Amino acid sequence: MQTFRRLLVANRSEIAIRVFRAATELGITTIGVYAEQDKLSLHRFKADEAYLIGEGMGPIEAYLSIEEVLRVAEEAKADAIHPGYGFLSENPEFAEACAARGIAFIGPAPRTMRTLGNKVAARQLAESVGVPVMPASAPLPRDAAEIGRIAAEIGYPVMLKASWGGGGRGMRPIESAEGLAEQVETARREALAAFGNDEVYFEKLVRRARHVEVQILGDSHGNLVHLFERDCTIQRRHQKVIERAPAPYLDAATREGLCAAALAIGRATDYRNAGTVEFLLDRETGRFYFIEVNPRIQVEHTVTEVVTGLDIVKAQIRIAEGGRIGRPDETGIPAQEAIVLDGHALQCRITTENPENNFIPDYGRISAYRGAFGFGIRLDGGTAYSGAVVTRFYDALLEKVTAWAPTPEEAIARMVRAIREYRIRGVSTNLPFLEALLTHPAFRAGDYTTRFIDTTPELFALPRRRDRATRL
C-alpha cells in the first residue's frame, strides 16, 4: 500500500475544500488550481498551495483542460489527483492521461467509466445481471418518422435523455407526438453542448416515481460494499434540491433489494472507488428500476456520511493508495456487516437563485453572512462568507447544510431551524423556498414524488421572513 504525499484537486469551491480537509487529516499536502475568474475563490486559499490554470481561457474551459491540470500537477510534484464532481470527474481520457504521467487518479478505472458513462450501455449491463430496468429505446435515429414510431411503441409519456452525462441536460418529458421532432433536436443540441455527444434515447416515464440512489465503494482487492441508500426525489428541473438518508418510506425488503442490485452492477464492472447507483421506485407498484451509475463522489454524499459515520472522501484516497475495504486501519471502511445506519439526515443546497424571479441566479458581493450552527448541523461551503463575490461564471451553489437527528421528524425540524437561522445579504438566495418545502405537510409526511415541486404551486407562496439584521 502506497502513501500519497501531495494531492491535487482538479476542481473548485466547496468540493475542492471538502477534499482538502480529508487529505489534510491524512497528513497529505493539498494542491489547488484556480481559473483567472476564480482568483478570489475561497478554495484557492484553503489549499496548502494553489496555482493558476488556463491563463487566457474561459472560466469553465480552464477546469476542463486536461493538459493544464496535468501541467500544474507535474510542476507541483503531485502524486495523485482527486477530480471532485463535474468537470473532468467522469472523463476516462483524463484518468488515462493521469496514468500515462505516473499520477494516481482517485476514481474508478477508465474502462468502468466508459461502460457506465453511456446510459444505454449501462442499462444493457444492468439487464445482463438481472437488475430491472425501465423500458427504453436504443439511441434514436435521425429519421423523424422512425423516432415517432419508437416513442409510440414505448408509450407516452416518455422521458427523453442524453446517452452521455447527467445533471438534467438534454432531458425532458414528452407527453405526446406533437412537436416531438423539434424537442428531440433541441435535446440533441443541449447534449452536444454539455457532453460533446448528441446521442439521445427514450425511456418510459413513471409519473408517480421516487428517486433512490445507493452509495457503493469498491477496492482493488475485489471487496465491494454499499453504504445504504439516499432519497433524492425532491428535484427542480431535474436538479436535486433536498436529499435524505435513509429513504424514510422504504421497507426492509425493498432496501435489501436495492442495495443488492447496486452491488450486482458494481461487481459486473469490477467497480473501484466511490460510485452511486441510481434507481426509480414506482410508488404505485413498489417496483424499482435501474437508471444509471455516477462514477464519482456525489454532491449529496454528506447525508450518507453522517448516518454511517464513515468518511467517503478519505476512503476514496485510501482505496486509491491500495487500501482494503474491511480493514478500517487501511480505508476507514469496515466489512459490510459492520456498516450500520444511525439516525436520519437531510441535505439542503443553498443557492444564489431568486425563487421569486424564476430562480434566475443572482450575482454580487455578500455584504453579510451568518450560517447555521448547533448540534447535528454540518456545513460544506465554498463562497459562503461576508465579502465573498458571487460571479456569473459558475453554478449558483453557495453552501450545503446537512442536519442529523435520531428520527425523520427531528431531522426535518432541525433543518427548518437551521434554514431560519441563516442571514445572507447582498445576493438573493433560495432560503425562503427551502423553508416552504421543508414545512409543507406532504414533505413532512413523506408523501411526494419526483414531480412534487412542479405540481405544488403553494410552494411558491414564499414565506416573508422578519428582518433580523440587528442580530448579526
Considering the domain architecture, whether residues 366 and 406 belong to the same structural domain is answered as yes
- Predicted local confidence at residue 167, as pLDDT: 64
Question: Whole-angstrom Cα distance, residue 170 to residue 427?
Answer: 29
Which residues, other chains included, contact 266 with Cβ-Cβ below 8 Å and sequence gap of 6+? 216, 218, 224, 275, 277
Strands 224-236, 209-218: pairing kind = antiparallel
Residue 158's SS3 state is: strand
Q: Which of 288, 155, 271 is nearest to 222 (CA)?
A: 271
Q: Which of 315, 305, 386, 385 is nearest to 347 (CA)?
A: 305
Assigned domain for 118 exists: no
Assigned domain for 129 exists: no
The residue count of the chain comes to 472
Domain final position from 179, 204, 229: 204
Assigned domain for 127 exists: no
Considering the domain architecture, whether residues 293 and 200 belong to the same structural domain is answered as no
Considering the domain architecture, whether residues 219 and 175 belong to the same structural domain is answered as no
Strands 6-9, 29-34: pairing kind = parallel
List per-residue pLDDT tens for the chain, 472 residues long.
Answer: 899 999 999 999 999 999 999 999 999 999 999 999 999 999 999 999 999 999 999 999 999 999 999 999 999 999 999 999 999 999 999 999 999 999 999 999 999 999 998 877 898 999 999 999 988 898 999 999 999 999 999 989 999 999 887 667 778 899 999 999 999 999 999 988 888 889 999 988 887 899 999 999 999 999 999 999 999 999 998 789 999 999 999 999 999 999 999 999 999 999 999 999 999 999 988 999 999 999 999 999 999 999 999 999 999 999 999 999 999 999 999 999 999 999 999 999 999 999 989 999 999 999 999 999 999 999 999 989 999 999 999 999 999 999 999 999 999 999 999 999 999 999 999 999 999 999 999 999 999 999 899 889 999 888 765 444 433 3
- Predicted local confidence at residue 469, as pLDDT: 41
Q: What is the pTM of this model?
A: 0.89
Considering the domain architecture, whether residues 52 and 87 belong to the same structural domain is answered as yes
Q: Which structural domain range is residue 381 located in?
A: 209-471
Please report, as a single letter, which amino acid is at residue 32.
Answer: G
CB 25 within 8 A of CB 9: no
Considering the domain architecture, whether residues 164 and 232 belong to the same structural domain is answered as no
Question: Whole-angstrom Cα distance, residue 388 to residue 405?
Answer: 31
Question: Whole-angstrom Cα distance, residue 152 to residue 177?
Answer: 8
- Predicted local confidence at residue 166, as pLDDT: 67
Domain final position from 66, 87, 106: 106
Q: Taking the CA atoms of 283, 250, 254 and 164 in sequence, report the sign of the dihedral they define.
A: positive
- The enclosing domain of 159 has a CATH number of 3.30.1490.20
- The enclosing domain of 94 has a CATH number of 3.40.50.20
| Bond before 463 cis per omega within 30 degrees | no
Considering the domain architecture, whether residues 391 and 271 belong to the same structural domain is answered as yes
Question: Whole-angstrom Cα distance, residue 346 to residue 351?
Answer: 16
- For the chain, the helix, strand and coil percentages under 3-state DSSP, each to the nearest 5: 35, 25, 40
Question: Whole-angstrom Cα distance, residue 213 to residue 211?
Answer: 7
Considering the domain architecture, whether residues 49 and 95 belong to the same structural domain is answered as yes
Considering the domain architecture, whether residues 337 and 360 belong to the same structural domain is answered as yes
Considering the domain architecture, whether residues 23 and 143 belong to the same structural domain is answered as no
- Predicted local confidence at residue 181, as pLDDT: 92
Considering the domain architecture, whether residues 289 and 172 belong to the same structural domain is answered as no
Whole-number Cα distances in Å, 14 to 221, 381, 400: 31, 5, 8
- Predicted local confidence at residue 464, as pLDDT: 61
- Predicted local confidence at residue 472, as pLDDT: 36
C-alpha cell at 316: 476514496
- The enclosing domain of 339 has a CATH number of 3.30.470.20
- Predicted local confidence at residue 205, as pLDDT: 86
Question: Whole-angstrom Cα distance, residue 183 to residue 433?
Answer: 30
Report the domain count for the chain: 3
The CA angle 49-53-58, to the nearest 5 degrees, is 140
Domain final position from 204, 237, 255: 204
Considering the domain architecture, whether residues 217 and 249 belong to the same structural domain is answered as yes
Strands 344-351, 397-405: pairing kind = antiparallel
Q: Which of 156, 235, 150 is nearest to 201 (CA)?
A: 150
| Bond before 355 cis per omega within 30 degrees | no
- Predicted local confidence at residue 284, as pLDDT: 85
Assigned domain for 188 exists: yes
The overall longest dimension of the chain from CA atoms, in Å, is 64
Considering the domain architecture, whether residues 294 and 429 belong to the same structural domain is answered as yes
- Predicted local confidence at residue 468, as pLDDT: 43
Assigned domain for 113 exists: no
Active site residues: 240
